[in-house]
Amino acid sequence: MAPLIAIKYDRDGGLQLLDQRLLPHSQKWLPVDTPEDAFAHIKDMVVRGAPAIGVTGALALAVHLTRGGAGAQFRSAGDCVAEVERVMDYLVKSRPTAVNLADSATKLKAVARRAAAEAGATAESVTAAVVEAAEATLEEDVAANKAIGAAGARALLDAVAARGRTRSGGKVRVLTHCNTGSLATAAYGTALGVLRALHEAGALEHAYCTETRPYNQGARLTAFELVHDGLPATLICDSAAAALMAAGDVDAVVVGADRVVANGDTANKIGTYSLGIAAAHHSLPFFVAAPTTTLDASLPDGGAIVIEQRPPEEITHFRGQRVAADGIGVWNPCFDVVPGSLVEGIVTEKGLVPRDPDSGDHAVRAFMRAL
Ligand code: MRU
């Protein structure tokens, strides 16, 4: 079976997104012809998952710059830089918590400014540099995920072995949350990439995925990916995770991230914090798997992360049908923050984030400086 992807791009054919709101029942591709299309598709969850959002924003910029005759639409290199800044500053407002789109914006704006500063720079040369960098994000994310998968599988197996929990045949049973796979990235996935790597190595006894209320990314998307790839897997309610650990059926937890800040505090799908606490209570290793595009050393700790609130209807309604009592108030944060102290390791494509020798915190800032 062909590997799953959620983002299709080529310079002639343009950018298309798999409408994830319809999965697993139907597969429909939507075009992204303008930055406004990209903004709406990100906000409305046609595409979701931190790395996928970052790649989509970059490719939407490439489409915008190449449609309408490449650099011909700008009078000067400076005009092109201003347009790159305008479009990326606009796109980053589509969803606030995941940092990957802001990372794409920072990098592409820097590429534009550098290209414009070169001798003889023209609108065409700046456009070409930005489009090349934007297009590269797709391949870079896949390569990062493969590296995270390999490093994460190794780290997780070591951590499980250190606790004497390895199963016969060197296998492990791993719980994950939300969707962090091919649908949430350019392909392969982060935390789900770790599960894929374990499976490829013959070391995955069983995967458990949470339903991931209220948007059901686990039931709709992760379950779809696990079945598609033939991994041995079981779906559980979010509220069953601690009971599953108490039953002794989980050896480790691996989740993705929307933003990992300087001390290792990690914003991820609502429910991640509860899983971190439950894993600590059961002495289970809890790993975060994320590309370096998810690291944000500018924020000191998780208290500074803006948490997106989603519409109340995600909780009060099911498939358009009201299930909650009329008049009830709703609190629907889309993400929570798991303290870095509960995270055994943060696995990136450049390896594990080391610990600060004095504080014992994950040393995200030093790690990023050394990249
Ligand atoms: O609201 P979503 O579906 O965009 O949330 C996705 C998650 O929380 C993922 O765990 C995270 O973005 C990492 S995806 C590799």
What's the rounded mean pLDDT across residues 217-238? Answer: 98
Residue 70 has pLDDT above 70, yes or no: no
Residue with tokens 């779809």: 224
Q: Which residue minimizes the CA distance to atom 5 of ligand 1? A: 49
- Provide the CA 370 distance to its chain's centre, in angstroms: 22
Residue tagged active-site, from 19, 229, 251, 258 = 258
What's the rounded mean pLDDT across residues 331-348? Answer: 98
- Distance between terminal CA atoms of the chain? 36
Note the pLDDT tens digit of each residue in 251-276.
999 999 999 999 999 999 999 999 99
What's the rounded mean pLDDT across residues 229-255? Answer: 98
**What pLDDT was estimated at residue 71?**
47
CB 47 within 8 A of CB 7: yes
Note the pLDDT tens digit of each residue in 134-165.
999 999 999 999 999 999 999 999 999 999 99
Q: Is 12 a catalytic residue?
A: no
Distance CA 221, CA 21 (A): 10
Pick the atom of ligand 1 nearest to 98's CA: 12
Amino acid at 358: D
Residue 68 has pLDDT above 80, yes or no: no
Pick the atom of ligand 1 nearest to 310's CA: 1
Q: How far is the CA of 207 from the centre of ligand 1 (A)?
A: 18
Element housing 232 (H / E) = none
Note the pLDDT tens digit of each residue in 160-212.
999 999 999 999 999 999 999 999 999 999 999 999 999 999 999 999 999 99
- CB-ligand 1 contact for 210 (6 Å cutoff): no
Q: Which residue minimizes the CA distance to atom 15 of ligand 1? A: 180
Distance CA 102, CA 91 (A): 9
Q: How many residues does the chain have?
A: 371
Q: How far is the CA of 3 from the centre of ligand 1 (A)?
A: 20
b/e code 110-135 from CB counts within 10 Å (16+ = b): ebbeebbeeeebbbebbbbbbbebbb
Q: Which of 18, 97, 178, 196 to mutate to test the pocket of ligand 1 (most atoms within 8 A of CB)?
A: 178
Which residue(s) pair with 368 in the sheet?
A: none
pTM for the whole structure: 0.97
CA torsion through residues 302, 152, 188, 129, sign: positive
What's the rounded mean pLDDT across residues 84-102? Answer: 97
Q: How many CA atoms lie within 13 A of 317 on its CB side?
A: 9
- CB-ligand 1 contact for 97 (6 Å cutoff): no
Mean pLDDT of the chain: 96
- CB-ligand 1 contact for 217 (6 Å cutoff): yes
CB 165 within 8 A of CB 251: yes
Distance CA 136, CA 283 (A): 40
Distance CA 27, CA 334 (A): 25
Distance CA 98, CA 79 (A): 29
